[in-house]
Structure 1
Amino acid sequence: MYTKKPQVHVNQGEQLKLTIKRLGINGEGIGYYEHKLVFVPGALPTEKVVVNVIEDLHNFIRAELVEILRKSDDRIQPVDDYANDVGGFELENLAYDKQLTFKRDVIKDSLEKYKPAGYRKYKLRATIGMEHPVHYRNKATFQVRSDGEKVIAGLYKHRSHTVVDLKTSALQYPLTMKVMRAVVAIIDELGIPVYDEEKNAGIIKTVVVRAATATDQVQVTFITQSKKLLKKRQLLERIAAELPEVVSIMQNVNPGKTSLIWGPKLFIWLVRKRLRKF
């Protein structure tokens, strides 16, 4: 009678040596340890690496990159200094032509896995890239917190709820970053309470800035713990006076501790013009 061989077990904090075989759908490197999948964010195919085990689950291991013993020829220096620290920048260390190939492969693998009707007749062409693959994201969704001295806004550090303050981003459209930083500065100067996750207190949780790249019109949405917002009038007056490109301001209410960014209730504060994308 055939008996399935038990999979290897490793301990948290244990270090392993791996060769990365491919990329996962989220851009993380995938290697194998004793035939068990190991997911390593920041590692690239063909690289030989040392990793630190974070978690050993039934079918796979999560690990963090400690050292690259043999680099991939396709590895490049990320444009953003924090690219390896936060989510959303997983492919910045991979040569752009290889990024395009990877994206095509994700579609190909998905079609072969889920087999939609007629998929074998689909003609998959090469991914169309950009001449200058920077500043193409026209929406920024940044968590807003206090670092004890000032209000900061950015993305979560990997595997944590610690917000990394992003003052620049090579991927974001420059106008979204300009408005984001200005709005955060206004919140700080007015002393509006921002969210404290540990205490489940404060008001402003998240700021979302969306720009229409053809018209340079901007929409700002404040995601808050409660509908009531201290110094709302002053906030609106400052934005209207200092940021004429902002044509729409909204509030989304999402109370309590939750992994969801958006809540069920949306309120329109200000509409100066209809946001035109084209």
Structure 2
Amino acid sequence: MNKVIPVEKNKDYEIYIDGFGNMGEGVGKIDNFTIFVKGAIKGEKVRIKITKVNKNFAFGRLIEVIEAAKDRTEPTCHNYKRCGGCQMQHLSYEAQLEFKKQKVVDCIERIGKINMDSVIVHDTIGMNPPHYYRNKVQLPVGEKNSEPQIGFYAERSHEIIDIDKCYIQFEAANEIMKLVKAWMKEYKIRGYNEQTGTGTLRHIMVRRGFKTEQIMLVLVTTNENLPHKKELIETITENINEVTGIIQNINSKKTNVILGDKEITLWGKDQIQDYIGEFKFNISSKSFFQINPVQTEKLYSAALKYAGLTGKEVVFDAYCGTGTISLFLSQNAKMVYGVEIIPEAIENAKINADQNKVTNAEFIVGKSEEEIPKLIERGIKPEVVVVDPPRKGCEKVLLEAIANAGPRTIVYVSCDPATLGRDLGILCEGGYEVKEVQGVDMFPETGHVETVVLIHKK
């Protein structure tokens, strides 16, 4: 018997919102049929128009808030409803932090099948103020009616929303964006057309060292020819004193990948520097570096605290990237072994260790699930293992290898609560138990949350 779907596309309905979805969208039910409504808040009665109907759920567009929740707030940004950069400006910051805490708990309980009654779950560490925190911004460049467009893509599209200010990127980036746009207008520099592959300027990327205040501007062009670059260099350097380097990156391919392989330093240096805690890092246009350095320090401090190091321990850092967590751990460890599959990241990790005079860290290129068993075969047994995997989480074979190695403590740093929940379930089956959970709000005004979890051997 076919299931009767109680809603129709393009029809209006009133609905009570009784929960949140994964990225902070409101969730309600009509005749026990689930509806997702972006911009609606738990506890609200709203009027919606159904925009898409699937077999088990539907999506609705918010038309009117009939009864508002106490946590509703006016978005700071006038582009908020069109731009895909933020999802939660309509929710008070205190409520955002509570949502992120509950999101983590729900994923661990539901996906990992873990009883959280005996687990200490701390409140999410927030940011004050929760604005202007991104130290890197990548802005697509196009044009509309022969006018340059610089901004962010609308949600689930490649339509550029032309903006004059963004409240989550650092403030100087907003000024640089305006200067580039004015230069394009004055000298008739063409923005990129994705369909035809024509135009000169594809993207601008701006990076900033929050502690050093150094700024790098990268201009991504379709070929080496960049008309009137001298005028652009003059206007940028005269108006933004913190700029220490302007780089042209050439990307001639029809691709969604932003940066090409070839770069030309037009002015100044090709790197900036920044610090996380006491550690200094060199950052090029292509370097991986945490987007929110203020909150990164809190995240890594939580990981270091959970590791419980006394100076006598051997530590494995799986998915070590450019060695940022490894360096933090080295302060209190006997020896740290960092493993990462990307060769360039390991080269950066070695450079970062050298310039910070860290001698008790060794970095290895390869898959963690292959290299960590090799370390164990060499007789190197870890007391502590730290994992900081990408969004897809850890490979099951790695988790099993870690459990077999039997470290007293595992510290899991996660950027996705769903894969975190799955992986914690595997570790608990392997003889471990979850003790503490600490969320850190690395991306205010969005649905994302980073989490640090303390796991002990039973």
TM range (shorter): 0.7 to 0.9
Residues 194/107 of structure 1: CA separation in 2 closer, same or farther (3 Å cut):
same
Residues 237/112 of structure 1: CA separation in 2 closer, same or farther (3 Å cut):
same
| CA distance in structure 2 between the partners assigned to 1:254 and 1:18 by the alignment | 49
State the structure with more CA Rg. 2
Residues 37/148 of structure 1: CA separation in 2 closer, same or farther (3 Å cut):
same
Residues 43/243 of structure 1: CA separation in 2 closer, same or farther (3 Å cut):
same
Q: Would you say 1:29 and 2:26 are equivalent positions? A: yes
After superposition, the C-alpha distances for 1:223-250 in whole angstroms (9 at most, x for unaligned) are 34x3334317436633455544222324
Higher alpha-carbon deviation: 111-120 or 59-68: 111-120
Deviation of the 1:81 alpha carbon: 1.5
8 Å contact from structure 2 (residues 148, 190) kept in 1: no
Aligned to 1:100: 97
Aligned to 1:262: 258
Aligned to 1:49: 46
Match among 49, 55, 59 for residue 56 of structure 2: 59
Aligned to 2:271: 274
Aligned to 1:126: 123
Aligned to 1:234: 230
Deviation of the 1:183 alpha carbon: 2.3
Aligned to 2:168: 171
Higher alpha-carbon deviation: 112-121 or 125-134: 112-121
| CA distance in structure 1 between the partners assigned to 2:252 and 2:13 by the alignment | 41
Match among 85, 90, 100 for residue 87 of structure 2: 90
8 Å contact from structure 1 (residues 145, 153) kept in 2: yes
Amino acid in the other structure paired with 2:128:
E
Superposed, 1:175-254 pairs within 5 Å as: 175-224=172-221, 226-231=222-227, 233-234=229-230, 237-238=233-234, 239-240=236-237, 242-248=239-245, 249-251=247-249, 253=251
Equivalent residue of 1:94, what SS? coil
Equivalent residue of 1:276, what SS? strand
| CA distance in structure 2 between the partners assigned to 1:175 and 1:166 by the alignment | 14
Equivalent residue of 2:274, what SS? coil
Amino acid in the other structure paired with 1:82:
N
| CA distance in structure 2 between the partners assigned to 1:203 and 1:11 by the alignment | 45
C-alpha RMSD over aligned residues:
2.9
Deviation of the 1:46 alpha carbon: 1.1
| CA distance in structure 1 between the partners assigned to 2:190 and 2:261 by the alignment | 20
What TM-score, normalized to structure 2? 0.53
| CA distance in structure 2 between the partners assigned to 1:221 and 1:273 by the alignment | 10
Amino acid in the other structure paired with 2:251:
V
After superposition, the C-alpha distances for 1:119-146 in whole angstroms (9 at most, x for unaligned) are 8875321011223222222222222122
Amino acid in the other structure paired with 1:125:
H
Deviation of the 1:167 alpha carbon: 0.8
Superposed, 1:7-22 pairs within 5 Å as: 7-8=4-5, 10-22=7-19
Residues 274/143 of structure 1: CA separation in 2 closer, same or farther (3 Å cut):
closer
Residues 121/262 of structure 1: CA separation in 2 closer, same or farther (3 Å cut):
farther
Deviation of the 1:116 alpha carbon: 9.3
Q: Would you say 1:6 and 2:3 are equivalent positions? A: yes
8 Å contact from structure 1 (residues 254, 261) kept in 2: no
Deviation of the 1:49 alpha carbon: 1.1
Residues 114/246 of structure 1: CA separation in 2 closer, same or farther (3 Å cut):
farther
Deviation of the 1:59 alpha carbon: 2.7
Amino acid in the other structure paired with 1:228:
E
8 Å contact from structure 1 (residues 87, 156) kept in 2: yes
What TM-score, normalized to structure 1? 0.84
8 Å contact from structure 1 (residues 7, 36) kept in 2: no
Equivalences, count: 272
Aligned to 2:136: 139
Deviation of the 1:33 alpha carbon: 2.6
Amino acid in the other structure paired with 1:245:
E
Residues 231/50 of structure 1: CA separation in 2 closer, same or farther (3 Å cut):
same
Q: Tell me the percent identity.
A: 26
Deviation of the 1:91 alpha carbon: 1.0
| CA distance in structure 2 between the partners assigned to 1:251 and 1:218 by the alignment | 16
Deviation of the 1:9 alpha carbon: 6.2
The one of the two structures with greater contact order (alpha-carbon pairs below 8 A, sep at least 6) is: 2
Equivalent residue of 1:177, what SS? helix
Deviation of the 1:262 alpha carbon: 2.6
| CA distance in structure 2 between the partners assigned to 1:141 and 1:120 by the alignment | 42
Which structure's residues are more often helix, by fraction?
2
